[in-house]
Homo-oligomer: A and B are copies of this chain.
Amino acid sequence: MSLRKGNLMDVRDDIQVLDATIRDGGLCNNFEFTDEFVKELYKMNVKSGIDYMEFGYKASKNMFKESDFGKWKFCNEEDIRAIVGDNPSDMKIAVMADVGRCDYKTDFLPKSESVIDMVRVACYIHQIPAAIEMIEWFHELGYETTCNIMAISQANLDQVKHALKTLAATNVDVIYLVDSYGSLYPENASEFAKIYLEAVEGTNKKIGFHAHNNQNLAFANTIETMSYGVSFLDATVQGMGRGAGNCAMELLLGFLKNPKYNIYVLLQFIEKYMVQLKDQGVVWGYDLQYMFTGLLNRHPREAIDFTKENRSDYSEFYKTLLDNF
């Protein structure tokens, strides 16, 4: 049985907090944040001591029309620079690149010419070879890299172990355990975390965790996996993210003992910008329909539709999900 790392009272210097509000939250509003919102979020994150801020996706413009989305679906260099300038802060800038939905050979500058610090490569378990090709490309360009293996709760454990072994031999810096469907319980999440941590033992690679809140366990799973040695922790302001959302940054910063993290400026941001966003009708967060898809370990798309249609016939919806298992 692996022992917990650290305790509830001390600082863990290896912890790195990543704000994914624009990227995962962008899935709630088609990435249509105002520049003011993004700029103030950036400034707040810097003041809060956040370690990384993810701006959005680097999506293929051959596959997605720029006019159909807000700019953070594409994260053009000049759009990021319009917010952060040359990013004079200690906080690093991340973007996400999806396997199969990113023109990575044409859309990334060498790191020396870019304000981006880290590229997070998101893939499903069967796309690991493609992900590794991208990771090595980004590594060559000079970026920090992560591999975010999504929907891990549906993957075969032997495949997971094989993928981790393969990744451990690459130049990737961080491997992320991603509970895309919010279906992991703390006991599952920590078992996975131990497998990930063992796979990178003896390397300098770190393990990250990205939670979804379908069963109201995003925060619990984040601190549980952290307790066993996971060090890259994703969170979003008020948990803003697709469907049931993610681990709430305010809960995470409240929990962390490192005095470099400042929750007060986060609260000021929430009352000024997040309350407004909700008033404008942007919807996310735990609700029964997401609990069902989490429980049944499946993609939340039907629950998102249920939400959009303002339905409250929960029992009928649940029955339909069971019918289509």
Are B220 and A188 in touch, CB under 8 angstroms? no
A314 to B315, CA, bound (A): 36
Q: Assembly of this chain: how many copies?
A: 2
A216 to B239, CA, bound (A): 11
Does A215 sit within 8 A of B, measured CB to CB? yes
Looking at the complex, which of A72-80, A85-93, A146-154, A249-257 is the stretch in contact with chain B?
A249-257
Are B315 and A254 in touch, CB under 8 angstroms? no
Most buried by B among A4, A255, A264, A314: A314
Cβ distance A68 to chain B, nearest Cβ, rounded Å: 33
Cβ distance A183 to chain B, nearest Cβ, rounded Å: 11
Contact flags A154-198 to B (C-beta < 8 A → 1, else 0): 000000000000000000000000000000011110000000000
Given contacts A216-B251, A217-B219, A220-B220, contact A267 B315 (CB under 8 A): yes
Are B216 and A248 in touch, CB under 8 angstroms? yes
**In the complex, which of the residues B1, B271, B288 contacts A313, with contact meaning CB atoms closer than 8 Å?**
B271
Contact flags A283-325 to B (C-beta < 8 A → 1, else 0): 0000010010001000000000000000011110011000000
- A135 proximity list for chain B (CB < 8 A): none
Chain A, 202-218, CB within 8 A of any chain B CB: 215-218
Most buried by B among A4, A215, A268, A270: A215
Chain A, 261-290, CB within 8 A of any chain B CB: 263-264, 267-268, 270-271, 275, 288
- A255 proximity list for chain B (CB < 8 A): 185, 215
Give me 16 A-to-B residue pairs in the complex whose CB atoms sit less than 8 angstroms apart, sorted by A's number.
Answer: A4-B187, A8-B185, A8-B187, A8-B188, A185-B255, A186-B220, A215-B255, A216-B216, A217-B220, A219-B220, A250-B288, A254-B295, A263-B318, A264-B315, A267-B288, A270-B314
